[in-house]
Amino acid sequence: MPESNGYNAHFRCFRGCPGEWSIYDVIYTCPTCGGLLEVAHDVDALRRRSAQEWKTLFESRIGATSWPYGSGVWGKKEWVIPSIDDENIVSMYEGNSNLFWAERLGKQLGLPDLWVKLCGNSHTGSFKDLGMTVLVSVVKQMMSMGRPVRAVSCASTGDTSAALAAYAAAAGIPAIIFLPQGKVSPAQLIQPIANGAHVLALDTDFDGCMRVVREVTQDNTIYLANSMNSLRIEGQKTVGIEIVQQFDWEVPDWIIIPVGNLGNISALYKGLKLLMDLGITNKMPRLVAAQAEKANPFYQSSLNGFSEKVTMQSRETLASAIRIGDPVSYEKAVQAVHETNGIVEQATEHEMAHAAAMADMTGMYTCPHTGTALAVLFKLRQRGLIQSNERVVVISTAHGLKFTPFKVGYHEGTLKEVESEFANPPVYLPPDPDVVMKTILRKLEASPFAS
Ligand SMILES: *Cc1c(COP(=O)(O)O)cnc(C)c1O
């Protein structure tokens, strides 16, 4: 067993069934009830360091070159996987992403304290890197301990597979990727191909791929890398901690995040809760789950007060990374919403594309999922639920560059169910200085920045 500096973490049943298992065991669900596991930390041991000591330690590691602490995830190693050997960590120095002050967009909404956490500014261009560094590192540790794992595998709506393929390639571990055929962006499809993963495109949707990967990984030599594996959540939870740290350890009033399989929002909650448990913060932000109307089982569940989990056949949406009809981390996400007085809201195709375009006009370059979260922000602001003096963080989960057809379609006015109010097509002109100058003057008068 690797060295753990007195801190410890293990798997246990999220619903509370008895039993605990090593992080290095191949186990994904509770053998008693079949529910999800979670990584439980020895919080008493963590409390032996004061809140101030933790803050100072974590701050000292930002930008550090001493391996692996310059990573936003591994800079908090004691809270993530304390026992892993540093030489088995597979990291691209993910995390520590920019918390962008959305000043101009905030002004338009009457919200001067609006921030966008740019998680897409990361090695593979999405939030998923945060969780994948942890999972692949644990696999590398398991292999070094002689466990019989020989490959990692996931079903994906695009970003999970890009992250898994890159981290697995960096570690020299084979990756097997299941994608729903024709339902991921061209950039997302080429990422795992370029990284040498075995890409299997199935004639089904994400939920269909998920069923297949669960079967395939019954064979314990192929390790499951989806977020039902709670190791992913441990890395992803650092985003909440990082946001609070970036505000000098002040907790924002609201955090809005686009949700599909519901791992991210569960992770966000878990990180923020740990800050409370260690006395570093004394309140929780209200968490808002933003869904695409075409794939909205969590929104529908919220309408029935979460009395039962709704599942559905997801429909085609621009927000393809959250096109999921049967979310795996449902119970964890219900807790996240319940315990933070949270809200679930949805956005139509038009609303998400419109919000994304508006944000882009203020200098961002937003993916459709970020657009979904922004559209939900617009609604809650309009309803007066979010007030002008409140501090709001929107989590941008992927880089807009992964979704070029979405951008092109918007500005060409060809997206289904979307009215492209801010379409800004190029102007085709002869190379004639007079014509060019006249056009420039006409453009500047009509410019959205003219005022
Ligand atoms: C995975 C993903 C999400 C949603 O995260 P879940 O854990 O599935 O809820 C949102 N946006 C993007 C871009 C993603 O890749």
Q: Does the beta carbon of 36 lie inside 6 Å of ligand 1?
A: no
Percentage of the chain lying above the pLDDT 70 cut: 99
How far does residue 110's CA lie from ligand 1's centre (Å)? 28
* CA–CA separation, 102 and 115 (whole Å): 5
317: CA distance to ligand 1 center in Å? Answer: 14
pTM, two decimal places = 0.96
Nearest atom, ligand 1, residue 227 CA: 7
Question: Is the distance from the beta carbon of residue 273 to the nearest atom of ligand 1 less than 6 Å?
Answer: no
- pLDDT-derived band at 152, boundaries 50, 70, 90: very high
Structure confidence at residue 336 (pLDDT): 98
Ligand 1 within 6 A of CB of 321: yes
- Residue nearest atom 2 of ligand 1, based on CA coordinates: 321
Cβ of 232 closer than 6 Å to ligand 1, yes or no, is no
Distance, CA 125 to ligand 1 centroid (Å)?
12
DSSP string, 378-445: HHHHHTTSS-TTS-EEEEE-BBGGGGHHHHHHHHHT--TT---TT--PPPP--S-HHHHHHHHHHHHH
pLDDT at 161: 95
From CA 22, how far away is CA 30, in angstroms rounded?
Answer: 13
Does ligand 1 lie within 6 Å of residue 155's CB atom? no
- Token look-up 């090593």 returns 22
- Across the range 147-174, mean pLDDT stands at 96
What's the confidence (pLDDT) of residue 448? 74
pLDDT for position 2: 57
Q: Which ligand 1 atom sits closest to the C-alpha of 398?
A: 13
Q: Considering only CA atoms, which of 418, 261, 229 is closest in space to residue 329?
A: 261
How close is the Cα of 321 to the center of ligand 1, in Å? 6
Please, what is the angle between helix 404-412 and helix 186-194, to 10°? 160
The Å distance, Cα 264 to ligand 1 centre, comes to 7
pLDDT tens readout for residues 331-385: 999 999 999 999 999 999 999 999 999 999 999 999 999 999 999 999 999 999 9
Region 210-233: what's the mean pLDDT?
94
pLDDT tens, position by position, 31-43: 999 999 999 999 9
pLDDT for the residue numbered 81: 98
Q: Strands, E, within 169-253: which ranges? A: 175-180, 198-202, 222-224
